[in-house]
């Protein structure tokens, strides 16, 4: 983790001492102007980084991006950069404080997961060919595939639970400690009249935001018991977290209480909604999302509607890990998953299943 400060009007860039470990470069050869500083960014990501930073300056807003940095040893590292604009008395942007965190380990895990799911998909295709050639083993192979899918989901749940717990109990606590130390040092520097106090205060605020984001991520990763009315409350909380984290409109619509006393079914529905919301933001670039939970004519339907860029892949031939997992979850609870265009723009993701497990009763 390291930070850098850009004095916008004089175009002077200053780096923290520990940025050397993050960039694997000696501070003396790091850029002293904004354009020079972009040289450490991977050439393919340079325009993207420049555009986001300049847009943040123009709009006087924060930025949060991920980009690659080539190291002298030939390795490529991923950096999560967060920036905050400081304004002068005339409300013009005068300084940018930026915090960089090496997230290469996380990116490596994501790539391993992608390769693992591609391998799983390839094996499933091979099994499908075998099933066509031999009808006698059809039922056996279907049963085996369901067992594998269930096992994969159980492993995924376990890893999410472990990662969420570590994120909350370890990373958040460490960041809190850093933030408290930074605040104490800020107060000391303010008493001494040090000019760097305002910069340190800005860094403390960035760390505080990181703690909040990490805690929200931990809540989303750590599964909870969802029997009864908990699914409705959890979906409503998901909508509120999405609004706070991504600064978009996200609403939960459930006109009448729907009680699900099967935690397995409720958990699968929640995870489908969670993945649908993530896809709408990451891939659909949506600014408005509505999560719906409805019961009608013996069926319960969970929907995620957005106003994003629209359908970019087929539900019949999904390529993404997330869509595959949602299809598996729907099958595990004997439901159907559909993806269709939303008018005038966007996507409607819907999971529908029969409701023999529902109980109708008044809910306070």
pLDDT digits (tens, 9 = 90+) for 57-99: 888 889 999 999 888 788 888 999 899 988 888 888 888 888 8
What Cα–Cα distance (Å) separates residue 343 from each residue in 29, 304, 324? 53, 13, 24
Identify the pLDDT of residue 251: 95
Which 3 state secondary structure label does DSSP give 102?
strand
CB 216 within 8 A of CB 245: yes
Identify the pLDDT of residue 300: 92
Domain 224-359 falls under CATH 1.10.760.10: no
Tell how far CA 264 is from the center of its chain.
23
* pTM summary value: 0.46
How confident is the model over 94-133, as pLDDT tens digits?
Answer: 888 888 888 888 888 888 988 998 999 888 888 778 767 7
d(CA 65, CA 49): 8
Which tokens hold the place of 186? 């800020």
Identify the pLDDT of residue 89: 83
CATH number for the region 2-102 comes to 3.30.450.20
Give the position of tokens 């949506």. 286
d(CA 78, CA 105): 8
Ranges of beta strands (E only) in 88-134 are 93-102
Identify the pLDDT of residue 242: 87
| Residue 316 confidence class, pLDDT cut points 50, 70, 90 | very low
């Amino acid at each position: 983790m390291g930070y850098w400060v850009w004095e916008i009007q004089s175009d002077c860039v200053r780096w923290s001492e520990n940025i050397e470990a993050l960039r694997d470069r000696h501070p003396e050869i790091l850029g002293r102007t904004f354009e020079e500083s972009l040289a450490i960014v991977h050439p393919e990501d340079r325009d993207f980084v420049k555009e986001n930073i300049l847009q943040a300056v123009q709009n006087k807003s924060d930025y949060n991006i991920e980009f690659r940095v080539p190291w002298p040893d030939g390795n490529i590292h991923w950096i999560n950069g967060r920036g905050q604009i400081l304004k002068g008395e005339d409300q013009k942007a005068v300084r940018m404080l930026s915090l960089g965190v090496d997230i290469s380990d996380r990116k490596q895990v994501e790539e391993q997961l992608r390769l693992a799911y591609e391998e799983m998909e390839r094996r499933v295709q091979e099994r499908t060919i075998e099933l066509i050639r031999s009808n006698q083993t059809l039922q056996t192979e279907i049963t085996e595939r369901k067992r594998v899918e269930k096992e994969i989901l159980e492993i995924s749940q376990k890893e999410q639970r472990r990662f969420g717990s570590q994120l909350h109990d370890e990373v958040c606590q460490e960041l809190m400690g850093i933030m408290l130390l930074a605040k104490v040092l800020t107060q000391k520097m303010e008493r001494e009249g040090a000019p760097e106090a305002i910069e340190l205060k800005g860094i403390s605020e960035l760390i505080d935001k990181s703690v909040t984001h990490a805690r929200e991520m931990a809540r989303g990763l750590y599964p909870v018991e969802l029997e009864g009315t908990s699914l409705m409350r959890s979906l409503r909380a998901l909508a509120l977290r999405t609004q706070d984290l991504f600064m978009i409109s996200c609403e939960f619509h459930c006109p009448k209480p729907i009680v699900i006393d099967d935690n397995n079914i409720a958990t699968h529905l929640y995870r489908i909604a969670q993945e649908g919301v993530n896809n709408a933001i990451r891939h659909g670039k949506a600014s408005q999302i509505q999560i719906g939970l409805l019961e009608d004519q013996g069926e319960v339907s969970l929907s995620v509607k957005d106003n994003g860029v629209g359908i970019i892949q087929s539900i019949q031939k999904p390529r993404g890990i997330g869509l595959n997992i949602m299809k598996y979850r729907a099958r595990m609870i004997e439901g159907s998953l559909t993806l269709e265009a939303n008018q005038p723009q966007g996507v409607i993701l819907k999971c529908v299943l029969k409701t023999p497990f529902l109980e109708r009763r008044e809910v306070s």
